[in-house]
Amino acid sequence: MNLTNAVALITGGSSGIGFAIAKSLTEARARVAITGRDGKKLEQAAKALGAFPVQADAAVEADVLRTYAAVMKEFGDLDILINNAGIGTFKTLVDMDTAGFERVFATNVTGVMMMGREAAKIFVARDRGNIVNICSTAGLRGAPTGTAYYASKFAVRGMTECWRGELRKHNIRVMLVNPSEVVTDFFAANGLTQKVNESKLRGEEIAHAVRAALEMDDRGFIPELSVFATNPVD
């Protein structure tokens, strides 16, 4: 697709991978809306990007509906949804609490579903559109302490395949992008320590993959792609 003047909605766009994707799409002359829960951080990001901000929590249905109302009022259309917002909790099975488990699924699964559902309504009516779900290589295999986060990414991968089966007949491209470890504030925000060095991926690599997938002619699409660092050193 031609990204010039295309309207893109990116959840979790105020930092990390979401911010990098938003930057890449604005540089391609797309019109971009970003969401985030932290109002101050969101406004700063939107100003830096020249994007339209919507303070919202993807896990809250009223916020999801308000987001789409605001985007349609601002732009009058939608071409791309980037489902990027996500959180994590990392505990062993014996230490896993239901509140933490459900909080992860509320954002990473239910939130993704609600955002995708509202985008699909628009795209089916216009018989075209693009949904990109930012998943993770955590959705490809399990790991210790991954019960909540990894399982949520397996669920996103499964939903993506279901949407693809439903929506292809409406000329809607549904794509999944699986980043491996990326240097962002995700680790610190979830109480984890990340070793940072130049061998590890940055958000720019994921943004490059997303933009490249979107810019393919609408005749074709990339169902799923994973992005790994070439030779990461921990």
Residues classed as catalytic? 149
Angle of CA points 26, 31, 34, to nearest 5°: 80
With CA atoms as reference, report the closest residue to 51 among 25, 76, 69, 78: 25
**Listed residue (15, 18, 28) closest to 211, CA to CA:** 28
- 147 token code pair: 């019960």
Alpha carbons 224 and 226: distance in angstroms, whole number: 7
Helices 147-167 and 98-105 pack at an angle, to 10 degrees, of 30
